[in-house]
Chains A and B, each alone.
Chain A
Amino acid sequence: MSAQNVLFDAPGPKSRRNILILNIIGALLIAGLIAYVVFLLGGKGQLAAGKWTPFLEGRTWEFFLLPGLLSTLRAAAIAVVTSVLFGLIFGLGRLSHVKPIRWFAGLIVEFFRAVPVLLMMIFLWLALGRSNLVEDAPFWAVVIALTLYNGSVIAELIRSGVQGLPKGQREAGLAIGMTQMQSLRTIEVPQALIAMLPALVSQFVVILKDSALGYIIGFPELLQNARRLGVGEGNLLQSLLIAAVIFIVINFALSSLATKLSTLLSFRSKGRARDETLDGIAAAEPEGTLSR
């Protein structure tokens, strides 16, 4: 049910006029708000050309923004692959018919979902830095922390996807002589993954957003480089704004893809494509897509 046409009737002439008047007032309010912010910024000299021209120069992009974006994307891309792997392994673990495996997988998944990503990142950064195991401690701290958290969320996604499948799928698998694991691997999980694809893509948005946490542990990603640029040029406000816009554009494209996928897939999968949660909070909600 779409909320928009439920709360009010198709408006008659009088309410159409009222809505028009309120619409104009609303638009004026928004315009006023924007004008006020612009006025405030202008008053503090933030709109001066000198604060913005650095973004027209090649070296700003060549030495700060593009390398930052690249390491953000690199960390996010690796974390996407590893968290899907982690999610598959522990999702299968949670669905296993062997009790100890199920408990162990459940413990790991619940633990990493409850611990803040930043806490894991700081811990891994300092621990890896001390142990000299890897050269680039901040990078690996970001990747591993993102994997542990988002992998756990994906494991839960896979579990609820499999549980949303009709019982007949598993029964048919067992009837033709497959073991439980074979039926899970070749019949249920592939279908669950397709049904969960929109939620999975939304989780990638979370990964990309959370990679910015690397800023706190000195990983030279987009936000960190934007700050360095801003300190150098004296336009922190402007460079953070540009970094935010870059993030918003990429994430918005991914979110739109997730919405498209959910409409596309609602026609084909046997599983319950969870479009009802996608419209709502779950789409890019930081906790993931599961109601506890």
Chain B
Amino acid sequence: MDNFLTLFETYNVPAAFWVNIQLTFWAAVWSLVLGTLLALMRISPIPSLQWLGAAYVNIFRNTPLTIIIAFGVLGLFGQLQVSLTDDFNLNFFRLAILGLTIYHAAFVCEAIRSGVNTVPLGQAEAARAIGLSFLPAARLIILPQAFRGAIAPLGNVLIALIKNSTVAAAGSVAAEASSLMKTMIEFRGDLVIPIFFTFAIGFVILVIPVGLLTTWASRRLAVAR
């Protein structure tokens, strides 16, 4: 037991989880922006934009996240020398956020679209009746209700994002949790099971409140109909 505890003095486990939380936060913000934009394209009356939104979702929803992240490091950085900052490690961190954003935006788009499907026909008809064109109708009438209807699926995307932030390991973000777990197990192979459960329970602690919170919020904020 003492051995196990000294392990935590050598390795900073909370700091590793903090990296995952940061990855999740930034990727969540950006993918919400990009996903909303894509959803707007998909419900717009303009065929070429509809096509672009659908193509984006179909491509990135069917690509493994691991490839997208690896592409950021090996393709963008390694072969094209794309750099998002001068700081070497921060660059990998940002490329990982970029990869996570691109992948999860497709799911955010679909979540919002499923939220749009919860908005009754009458709302859009009323919006048209008072003379609103597509963009004002979407901004003032449809999207606010769609977001409230999409909280549960958006919460699922956030949970997936928290767990998927470990895939940043494929993008040379060595400070995140799964990479640290690997290092710790390699250092203390005799403690492989307690080390795994430490990290696993860390993720359970991160994920479960998000699930409870979004379930609560989706009930609380559901539009009464």
Contact = CB atoms under 8 A, between A and B. Distances in A.
Interface in B108-140: 110-111, 113-114, 116-117, 120-121, 124-125, 128, 134, 137-138
B27 to A, nearest CB: 13
A30 B53 CA distance: 11
A281 B178 contact: no
Contact of B156 (A118, A227, A237, A287): A287
A286 B157 CA distance: 8
A247 B62 CA distance: 7
A103 interface: no
5 contacts: A1-B121, A7-B137, A118-B178, A120-B200, A126-B186
A241 to B, nearest CB: 8
Contacts of A251: 62-63
A130 interface: yes
Given A227-B74, A280-B117, A285-B153, A26 B49 contact: yes
Contacts of A286: 65, 107, 160, 163-164
A118 B121 contact: no
A283 interface: yes
B114 to A, nearest CB: 3
Given A8-B45, A119-B203, A237-B80, A284 B66 contact: no
Contacts of A282: 114, 153, 156
Interface of B: 42-52, 58-59, 61-68, 70-71, 74-75, 78-81, 107, 110-111, 113-114, 116-117, 120-121, 124-125, 128, 134, 137-138, 142, 152-153, 155-157, 159-160, 163-164, 166-167, 169-170, 177-178, 181-182, 185-186, 189, 192-193, 196, 199-200, 203-204, 207-208, 211-212, 214-215, 218
B67 A130 contact: no
Given A215-B170, A287-B156, A230 B74 contact: yes
